[in-house]
Amino acid sequence: MKELLNPLEADTHVKKSDTKRQAILDTAYRLFRTQGFERTSVGEITAAVGGSKATIYSHFPSKEELFVECMMAAVENYMAGTLKHLDAASADPAVALYDFGRSFLSFICSPEQLEVRRLMIAEAARSGTGKLLFDKISVLRSHVSAFMSAAMASGTLRRDDPLLAADHLGALLEAEMLEPLLLQVREGSPDEKEVALAAKRAVAAFLRAYSPARRQLKPLQTRSKQRGVA
């Protein structure tokens, strides 16, 4: 019953049990996250998941490809964690932005996501894992950008490059907490209250920066043209 879920996933190897494969992926993912790629040995994964090293190498051709599959699962998880907070668009864009910002920041600051972020940056050059995550982030960016575009069309935000506005919102959200967390100067994740306050300050600053201009201090129609990635 469980083998017919997808017959074309045998691109690399033959078909094997799926539960074992998933158990290996889960354990390897956890160890890679907390220890990094080089400091995690296949023997350690074997001991943690239980079983034999040969089993791992019957499911994955190398440690490298096992790592890449873990990272692909990680970015899928990233998307599931961020995009689900984007559909509930409140009537007031201010509270919609705040709700999104708070849950987004809370997700970003979770220990697992911090570990993934560190790992992605550390191993960005390896097998193009960095691009893997960035492409997923781009999807999120374009979603936020669509929200911005709509808010600009309805007049609740000033007319500007919606993608730029999305980048600025994301940066403001991360401004207070991300750097010390990535550099591990604090021990654990911040609590929800701290996150909520940082998100509140970030959204407040964003709304001040992107509220509609009261007077035409600057020409409104200047849309910056093709600023980088589409």
Partner DNA sequence: CGATTACCGTACTGTTCGGTACAGTTTAGT
Partner DNA sequence: ACTAAACTGTACCGAACAGTACGGTAATCG
Q: List residues binding DNA (CB under 7 A).
A: 1, 14-17, 19-21, 40-44, 50-55, 57-59, 62-64
Which option in a copy of itself, DNA, none does residue 168 bind, with CB closer than 5 to 8 A by kind? a copy of itself
- The DSSP annotation for 30-76 comes to HHHHHH-STT--HHHHHHHH-S-HHHHHHH-S-HHHHHHHHHHHHHH
Which option in a copy of itself, DNA, none does residue 5 bind, with CB closer than 5 to 8 A by kind? none
As a whole number of angstroms, the distance between CA 209 and CA 204 comes to 9
Half-sphere exposure of 223 (CA within 13 A, CB side): 8
Kindly state whether residue 183 participates in binding a copy of itself, applying the rule CB under 8 A: yes
Helix (H, G, I), strand (E, B) or coil at 115: helix
In the complex with a copy of itself, which residue's Cβ is closer, 11 or 187?
187
Q: Which of 184, 216, 221, 226 binds a copy of itself (CB under 8 A)?
A: 184
Which option in DNA, a copy of itself, none does residue 52 bind, with CB closer than 5 to 8 A by kind? DNA
As a whole number of angstroms, the distance between CA 160 and CA 68 comes to 38
In the complex with a copy of itself, which residue's Cβ is closer, 2 or 214?
214
Which option in a copy of itself, DNA, none does residue 83 bind, with CB closer than 5 to 8 A by kind? none
The H-or-E segment that residue 166 falls in is: helix 162-174
Per-residue buried b or exposed e for 168-178, using 16+ beta carbons within 10 Å of the residue's own CB = bbbebbbebbb
Q: Which of 74, 172, 195, 199 binds a copy of itself (CB under 8 A)?
A: 172
Q: Which of 79, 124, 162, 199 binds a copy of itself (CB under 8 A)?
A: 124
CA angle 211, 216, 217 (to 5 degrees): 90
Binding site for a copy of itself (CB under 8 A): 36, 38-39, 118, 120-125, 130-131, 133-134, 137, 164, 167-168, 170-172, 174-176, 179-180, 182-185, 197, 201-202, 205-206, 208-210, 214, 224, 227-229
